A = this chain, B = another copy of it.
């Protein structure tokens, strides 16, 4: 009465064993390591498994500490960013494009605070619910690398500067593009170039700010005002208002925004102030979202390879899980997209 039943149940390894005339142990060995069984029986077992349409139970495997074929994405941001942000959907798209072919699933969890975040990493991996993590949004003094190391969790850090942790890192290298942008501004005669950036606690934001600053100084210019805000239209608008509220002698003639959305927000504030783009103020963004080329005027921006960040991250994590030694650092280079908002070419 226990076995058999109405038949509406998934076959287990025992069913396969029985059909193949062997024991569960043999089946397990045959289908996993492949060793320890004669090729004859192995074939027989494989047959039986196929005929029964058997597939191993995730739960039972997990209970034995085996990988499940899942990677975790724990995000400490508001879920709304999926709707607005340029990074996340593309990033996820890149991840899925490699996972899809590898029969892996993504486990996504948005968490509200650092405490839940830590607990989530711990539970997800402690139980081997996921095999490893893709870590984004690394912040200054971020505790996750240390924690993940303590847990012994395989992980790849994505979108952070090289060397920011001991985990393999995929870096979005936009130094050259930013340098090119600043040079362009300078060539067009701009002496005071402002910068609007997202949360400076984020390593990537910090890094881009530095690239901008260094590029400006290398041209023997004094960096213009810097304002921070969220990577949104509103964030960009507010930051722009603060910039315009400054003394005349601090007022920039060019602004480099940390995201295209911010730049779009800037457009409206500059427009309302009666300032012409690029006539009175030259503008550039970051990301190259589809909207950038449709904006009026079309927005000069630094194209960032979000999808590639996802696919490279997933690729490397998967390789790690297979036991391969990952490259500790991978660079993806950003590209400057010159459009009208930064002024006509000389």
Q: Which residues of A contact B (CB under 8 A)?
A: 10, 55, 57-60, 62-63, 68, 70, 78-83, 88-90, 92-97, 99-101, 105-112, 119, 123-124, 126-129, 264, 290-291, 294-296, 307
How far apart sit A95 and B108, CA to CA, in the bound complex (Å)? 11
Chain B proximity of A300: nearest CB distance (Å): 16
Q: Which residues of B contact A70 (CB under 8 A)?
A: 107
How far apart sit A59 and B45, CA to CA, in the bound complex (Å)? 26
Whether A97 and B80, one on each chain, are in contact in the complex, defined by CB atoms closer than 8 angstroms, is: yes
21 inter-chain pairs at a CB distance below 8 angstroms, sorted by A residue, are: A10-B126, A59-B59, A59-B63, A60-B63, A62-B62, A63-B63, A79-B94, A79-B95, A79-B96, A80-B97, A81-B93, A82-B90, A83-B89, A83-B93, A96-B108, A97-B110, A105-B124, A107-B107, A107-B108, A264-B294, A294-B294
Q: Which residues of B contact A123 (CB under 8 A)?
A: 55, 58
How far apart sit A55 and B80, CA to CA, in the bound complex (Å)? 29
Q: Which residues of B contact A291 (CB under 8 A)?
A: 290-291, 294
Chain B proximity of A344: nearest CB distance (Å): 20
Pick the contact of A59: B112, B129, B264 (CB < 8 A). Answer: B129
- Report which residue of A78, A83, A129 has the largest number of chain B beta carbons within 10 angstroms of its beta carbon: A83
Q: A57-B127, A107-B107 are known; give 5 further A-B pairs, CB within 8 A.
A: A55-B126, A79-B93, A79-B95, A99-B109, A291-B291
Chain B proximity of A52: nearest CB distance (Å): 13
Which residue of chain B has its CB nearest to the CB of A233? B290
How far apart sit A89 and B294, CA to CA, in the bound complex (Å)? 21
Whether B105 and A93, one on each chain, are in contact in the complex, defined by CB atoms closer than 8 angstroms, is: no
How far apart sit A105 and B81, CA to CA, in the bound complex (Å)? 17
Pick the contact of A82: B93, B105, B119 (CB < 8 A). Answer: B93
Q: Which residues of B contact A307 (CB under 8 A)?
A: 83
Q: Which residues of B contact A88 (CB under 8 A)?
A: 89
How far apart sit A63 and B60, CA to CA, in the bound complex (Å)? 6
How far apart sit A82 and B87, CA to CA, in the bound complex (Å)? 11
How far apart sit A291 and B90, CA to CA, in the bound complex (Å)? 17
Given contacts A62-B58, A291-B291, contact A108 B110 (CB under 8 A): no
How far apart sit A202 and B296, CA to CA, in the bound complex (Å)? 36
- Report which residue of A57, A78, A82, A126 has the largest number of chain B beta carbons within 10 angstroms of its beta carbon: A82
Whether B109 and A97, one on each chain, are in contact in the complex, defined by CB atoms closer than 8 angstroms, is: no
Pick the contact of A294: B111, B126, B296 (CB < 8 A). Answer: B296
How far apart sit A96 and B128, CA to CA, in the bound complex (Å)? 22
How far apart sit A257 and B120, CA to CA, in the bound complex (Å)? 43
Pick the contact of A89: B82, B96, B129 (CB < 8 A). Answer: B82
- Report which residue of A55, A62, A81 has the largest number of chain B beta carbons within 10 angstroms of its beta carbon: A62
